[in-house]
Amino acid sequence: MSAIVLSGRELAAQLRAQATTVGCELRSRGIAPALAVVTATADEAAAAYVRSIVRAAKRMEIDCAVHDLGPSATAADLRNRLIKLSLDPDIHGIVLQAPVPPGVSAVDVAAAIDPAKDVDGANPTSLGRLAAGSSAFAPATAEAVMVLLDHYGIPLSGRHVTVVGRSTVVGKPVAHLLLARHATVTICHSRTADLAAHTREADVIVVAAGQPGLVTGAHVKPGSCVIDVGTNSDGAGGIVGDVEAETVEAVAGALSPVPGGVGPVTATLLVEHAIRAASSAADGRS
């Protein structure tokens, strides 16, 4: 058996086209959707991700400014910038890029982002609202997983989904989104005693651990669907996921590739969220 490839590229193009149309309509009403990305790291993977957001914004014809505060920025520096951007009526979406400098709590700092502009669901208020089933922007990566599953018609209601990873950025929010869709969700992490026992029971596996090759064919039930969120450097300028693709695609029914799976959808959704935030702000004013 060879797994179906769940490509995110074509889906990202569709999402881009739809959101760009909405952005054009807003501009025709005199509103220019604008996104701000605040970064304070020298991490190369983070820099590559920020470049992909800037590229997506450009393709979707919205303004995107990168505020690079440098790796020695303090919590106060970050908080002050996030407050300033939250108060700026010309900014509609704010992203706090991870990682933040050592000793700074990303969650504490992200609390300074106005939830209405929190397009990557980083403010703990947004995560709380997500958990409570109330309206909030979900972290774009978690939403990208859901959008990819829906695009390929993967059923979730009543299905068993195992999520590998419990971060605030991916694992926990995707678990909440899956629960809201009536999946039965198991969350695994680095202390899980027997990972394969949990993944082999799953109809869908979402892997977000940051560990290349963590999930192999031996972890997968035949015919199941595997979403690989991992983006790890391959040491040669490219990226690899958390899944050992050669062995998993021989067993799984469907697999999202890295690169070209969740990644392109994530950057597109971030920009789409900013356009949506601009639209909500405009409706609130009119």
List of residues contacting ligand NDP (CB under 6 A): 141, 164-167, 169-171, 188-192, 195, 208-211, 214, 229-232, 262-263, 266
Token pair listed for 83: 């407050």
Beta carbon of residue 261, minimum distance to ligand NDP (angstroms, whole number) = 8
Beta carbon of residue 141, minimum distance to ligand NDP (angstroms, whole number) = 4
Beta carbon of residue 165, minimum distance to ligand NDP (angstroms, whole number) = 4
Beta carbon of residue 234, minimum distance to ligand NDP (angstroms, whole number) = 12
CB burial readout 174-209, b (16+ within 10 A) else e: bbbbbeebebbbbbbeeebeebeebbbebbbbbbbb
CA distances from 110 to 32, 118, 247 (A): 24, 9, 39
Q: Kindly tell me which of 155 and 210 has the beta carbon lying closer to ligand NDP.
A: 210
Q: Kindly tell me which of 41 and 232 has the beta carbon lying closer to ligand NDP.
A: 232
Q: Kindly tell me which of 126 and 266 has the beta carbon lying closer to ligand NDP.
A: 266
Tell me which amino acid residue 164 is.
Answer: V
Q: Kindly tell me which of 7 and 80 has the beta carbon lying closer to ligand NDP.
A: 7
Q: Kindly tell me which of 272 and 279 has the beta carbon lying closer to ligand NDP.
A: 272
Q: Kindly tell me which of 27 and 166 has the beta carbon lying closer to ligand NDP.
A: 166
Beta carbon of residue 210, minimum distance to ligand NDP (angstroms, whole number) = 3
- Minimal CB distance to ligand NDP: which residue? 167
Beta carbon of residue 228, minimum distance to ligand NDP (angstroms, whole number) = 9
